[in-house]
A = this chain, B = another copy of it.
């Protein structure tokens, strides 16, 4: 990103680095293992909040509760309570009652109003939450939270399911000369695991920001980050991205009119982009991160459709796993995306290796291509020479392990 100089990455930072936030996690018995399965982020002041939710028709109960909290609490939240091991999805009226009860218990435990609390769940679909364990766990949460890295670590552990690595990022920038911190944590190693569901992401910041501006920024940023990753093309019933801004950095309230708005949006996008890329890299069974850049499309939206069609192709993903410079599968994906393409003007590169120019094969060094494709990050660049639209998408290769994990998942 050309705007990196507007902010700096804080490698040691966590979701509790922004002023005002504490976090924690514990095991309450929702997972069969002894790993954490209940977590919380709390803010010492009402934080400006914004969220985006799965577009799946079957939205899990916690999403409804969170939506209601944000709407009725004047777009402010003090806490979000999250469980893994059970998605509370396809659970009917009882599931909805359970999500409300979870919110109520967390509000009581932290001395907050119910509408100051959001709820998120991830895990098995179609089973009721064992509410005695949830209640027991929530009672212990106030004693488990801290503003240290340890609290953030315990929270990150609590939201993981099939994730192999923790996904966390933190950046700092100056707004009105004050230091502002933005941090994020996420889970999700497929776009969906309906029986151990979901992508969840939480972004905290101590910036002061106008609520509508935060919601708009979150939507725009999601479109070019989280919505541009795909592991298997599926989307879950529980996906949620929630952001909370404490305002304790002491800057003038951010909005698009603010002089430092561009710096803040660039930093916010970096956080979301890195979380999204780490989810793609940790895709089920993945051995390689694949980045697809499409340029020369008629619009950015058209470029995005084409990029996602390429990254979503099982044939392209299998070829990447096999380190096979199979440009035929890439151009076939371009051609079936349903977007305007000039069939005679397409260039394709794998890394810096040109394999197709003006839609005609270019001789390339197979050994060099093989060496490149055996790396851990593969860049596929497609220039359509048909306009100014561009987009980048991220995904991963399709491997034996993907099949193994998903063939045997539920049992």
Q: Name A's B-contacting residues (CB within 8 A).
A: 55-59, 89-90, 92, 124-127, 190, 192-195, 197, 232-237, 312-315, 318-319, 321-322, 324-329, 331-336, 341, 343, 356, 359-361, 398-400, 402-411
19 new A-B contacts, CB < 8 A, other than A55-B336, A194-B329, are A56-B332, A57-B335, A90-B360, A92-B359, A124-B328, A125-B328, A126-B361, A194-B331, A195-B326, A234-B314, A235-B332, A315-B406, A318-B403, A319-B409, A321-B403, A322-B407, A322-B411, A324-B409, A326-B410
Question: Contact between B407 and A319 (Cβ–Cβ < 8 Å)?
Answer: yes
Most buried by B among A126, A325, A327: A126
Q: Which residues of B contact A411 (CB under 8 A)?
A: 322, 324
Closest B residue to A316 by beta carbon equals B234
Protomer copies:
2
| A341 CB to nearest chain B CB (Å) | 5
Q: B90 contacts A324, CB within 8 Å?
A: no
A194 contacts across to B, CB distance below 8 A:
315, 326, 328-329, 331-332
The listed residue (B127, B313, B341) touching A57 by CB distance below 8 A is B341
B403 touches A58 (CB 8 A): no
How many Å from the CB of A90 to the closest CB on chain B?
6
Contacts of A409 in B (CB 8 A): 318-319, 322, 324, 326
B192–A234 CB distance below 8 A: no
Per a CB cutoff under 8 Å, which of B312, B324, B335 touches A410? Answer: B324
Q: Which residues of B contact A400 (CB under 8 A)?
A: 400, 403-404
The reply to whether A332 and B192 contact each other, CB–CB distance below 8 Å, is yes
Interface residue SS majority, chain A? loop
C-alpha spacing A190/B192, complex, angstroms: 24
Q: Is the CB of B58 within 8 A of A324?
A: no
In the complex the two chains form, is B319's CB within 8 Å of A58's CB? no
Q: In the bound complex, how far is the Cα of B193 from the Cα of A309, in angstroms?
A: 16
Listed A/B pairs (13) with beta-carbon separation below 8 Å: A56-B336, A57-B335, A58-B343, A90-B360, A192-B329, A194-B331, A195-B326, A234-B336, A322-B407, A322-B411, A324-B410, A324-B411, A325-B410
A322 touches B406 (CB 8 A): yes
Of chain B, the residue at the smallest CB distance from A234 is B315
The 6 closest A-B pairs by CB, nearest first: A322-B407, A318-B406, A194-B328, A125-B328, A57-B335, A126-B361
| CB pair A361 B90 closer than 8 Å | yes
Q: Across the interface, which residues of B come within 8 angstroms of A127, CB to CB?
A: 361
Judging by beta carbons under 8 Å apart, are A407 and B233 in contact? no
One of B55, B56, B197, B314 near A232 (C-beta < 8 A): B314
Cα distance A160–B331 when bound, in Å? 23
| Least distance between A323 CB and chain B CB atoms (Å) | 8
Q: Are A58 and B359 in contact (CB under 8 A)?
A: yes
- Roughly how many angstroms separate A56 CA and B332 CA in the complex, as a whole number? 7
